[in-house]
């Protein structure tokens, strides 16, 4: 993965092959490298990826053939069957373990088999891409892709394989076909890619992984802490999951830019949002837009009255919660965001303005993240109960700091890291552009100073090295 010491070696090898071999081989280089990347993570994941990619390619050719002959309805039936297979795969892998408990299979051979089913790496992300490809093809919005290598790259491209972004075929495929024109010595592109990589690793290694240690202790041993530290734990996780996932996304975008490919910008300073509706336009953009286009709008969107709009909104967020995990805590997380969104829609309909919108939105999101982080619903409810009832015991502050490893220097590093992320997001939000673009607009000496500052911060304050098991990116499990 991106946090492994082997990844720079892998990336460097792919870059060398990409630019040294004949340009016409570039799609094949990326596809083969992506399959090696997937196989390194899991052979079973590679087998699943190959099966899904081949199924999508074959189904696409079949649908196109039927459409050419005038059998539009039959083409849609083929698409529906292929999409059903994708949904069934996702449901089985995500809910196999929970299914055993719900159906009373405990202790049986069936329970043993189901519990051994492990979600293949990146499955839910590339399945969503396959579904959008088949739906758009059946709807006549795009043409089928006959070249398996090109289409395979869309689903398997290694920077986005594990945790997205969820790309649309019509946006990604033309870039694969233009790879021959990508030049190695493109100073602007490489400088931009380097900035994305540095900022992503800063968010992940300096901020997210450092916070992960305190968050883990606070959620696992919440009975030992008072209300102040439990509120702090919720705040820390709110920052951790953002820096972890956004950090991954920035690294993915940076890696892709080296090859001349532009990925979707998955985050747009989400904690600067003034409402929950705006938050979801800024958070995990590729997922929220996918749910809008392939679930919310087909359900009727807001075209059939306010009540129907609210029902559709709740359905979308329920599905969003279920997509993230099989536990009840994920469903509650989805329902909470649905209720937040319905309330926001009501305020907008009435013309009311939410006071302190940014603060309220941040609080809503942070509260919901507790259900997301907790190992189960029971732990989430117990954590929340203690957070509101334990009070503040000043006599135990020093002891709590020692348990958490929060020395003066650690507090300073954490505070500075969080402050830097929020200040950069504030500026990016005002300028309506991403941090790497802001840096590229500066003079050379300013840009080099930023590079130096980020590199030094990563090397000195980043969490890595012998004896440390790098935290996997949170969204790998989804």
**Which residues are tagged catalytic?**
324
Buried b (16+ CB within 10 A) or exposed e, 396-424: eeeebeebbebeeebeebbeebbebbeeb
Nearest by Cα to 234 from 376, 124, 363, 421: 363
**What is the chain's alpha carbon radius of gyration, rounded to the nearest angstrom?**
23
CA quadruple 281, 215, 371, 338: dihedral, nearest 10: -10
Environment class of residue 191 by beta-carbon count within 10 Å: exposed (0-12), middle (13-18) or buried (19+)? middle
- Alpha-carbon separation of residue 213 from 66, 125, 142, 208, 353 (angstroms): 55, 27, 46, 9, 38
Nearest by Cα to 274 from 359, 363, 365, 366: 359
Q: Do you find a cis peptide bond into 87, omega within 30 degrees of 0? A: no
Residue that is written with structure tokens 């795009």 in the block: 142
Nearest by Cα to 193 from 152, 159, 158: 159
Angle subtended at Cα 272 by Cα 270 and Cα 276, rounded to the nearest 5 degrees: 65
Cα dihedral 52, 58, 60, 63 sign: negative
Tokens encoding 80: 């529906």
Cα dihedral 330, 379, 357, 238 sign: negative
Tokens encoding 296: 């919310």
**Residue 206: CB atoms within 10 Å:** 26
CA quadruple 323, 56, 119, 324: dihedral, nearest 10: -10
Contact between residue 132 and residue 157 where contact means Cβ atoms under 8 Å apart: no
Tokens encoding 335: 């329902």
**Residue 68: CB atoms within 10 Å:** 10
Nearest by Cα to 210 from 456, 434, 471: 471
Question: DSSP character for 262?
Answer: P
Residue that is written with structure tokens 């016409």 in the block: 24
Contact between residue 210 and residue 413 where contact means Cβ atoms under 8 Å apart: yes
């Amino acid at each position: 993965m991106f946090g492994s010491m082997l990844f720079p070696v892998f990336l460097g090898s792919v870059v060398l092959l990409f630019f040294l071999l004949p340009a016409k081989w570039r799609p094949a280089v990326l596809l083969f490298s992506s399959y090696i990347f997937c196989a390194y993570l899991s052979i079973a994941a590679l087998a699943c990826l190959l099966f899904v990619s081949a199924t999508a390619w074959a189904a696409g050719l079949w649908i196109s053939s039927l459409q050419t002959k005038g059998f539009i309805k039959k083409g849609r039936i083929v698409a529906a069957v292929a999409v059903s297979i994708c949904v069934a795969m996702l449901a089985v892998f995500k809910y196999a373990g929970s299914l055993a408990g719900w159906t009373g299979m405990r202790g049986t051979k069936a329970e043993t088999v189901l519990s051994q089913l492990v979600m293949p790496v990146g499955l839910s992300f590339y399945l969503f891409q396959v579904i959008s490809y088949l739906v758009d093809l059946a709807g006549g919005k795009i043409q089928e892709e006959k070249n398996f290598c090109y289409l395979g790259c869309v689903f398997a491209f290694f920077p986005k394989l594990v945790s997205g972004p969820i790309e649309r075929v019509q946006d990604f495929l033309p870039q694969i076909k233009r790879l021959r024109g990508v030049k190695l010595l493109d100073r602007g592109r490489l400088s931009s890619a380097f900035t994305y990589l540095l900022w992503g690793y800063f968010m992940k290694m300096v901020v997210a992984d450092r916070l992960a240690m305190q968050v883990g202790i606070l959620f696992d041993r919440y009975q030992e802490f008072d209300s102040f530290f439990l509120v702090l734990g919720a705040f820390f996780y709110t920052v951790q999951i953002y820096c972890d996932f956004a950090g991954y996304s920035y690294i993915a975008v940076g890696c892709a830019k080296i090859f001349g490919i532009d990925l979707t910008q998955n985050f747009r300073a989400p904690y600067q949002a003034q409402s929950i509706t705006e938050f979801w336009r800024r958070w995990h953009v590729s997922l929220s837009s996918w749910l809008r286009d392939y679930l919310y709008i087909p359900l009727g969107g807001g075209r059939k009255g306010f009540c129907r709009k609210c029902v559709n909104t709740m359905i979308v967020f329920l599905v969003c919660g279920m997509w993230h995990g099989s536990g009840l805590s994920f469903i509650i997380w989805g329902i909470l965001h649905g209720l937040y969104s319905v309330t926001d829609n009501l305020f907008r309909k009435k013309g009311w303005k939410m006071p302190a919108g940014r603060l309220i939105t941040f609080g809503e999101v942070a509260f919901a993240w507790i259900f997301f982080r907790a190992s189960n619903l029971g732990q989430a409810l117990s954590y929340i109960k203690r957070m509101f009832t334990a009070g503040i015991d000043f006599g135990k502050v020093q002891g709590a700091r020692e348990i958490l490893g929060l020395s003066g220097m650690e507090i300073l590093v954490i505070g500075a890291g969080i402050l830097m992320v929020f200040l950069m997001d504030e500026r990016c939000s005002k300028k309506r552009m991403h941090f790497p673009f802001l840096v590229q607009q500066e003079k050379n000496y300013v840009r080099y100073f930023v590079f130096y500052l980020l590199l030094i911060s990563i090397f000195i304050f980043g969490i890595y090295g012998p004896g440390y098991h790098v935290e996997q990116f949170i969204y790998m499990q989804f």
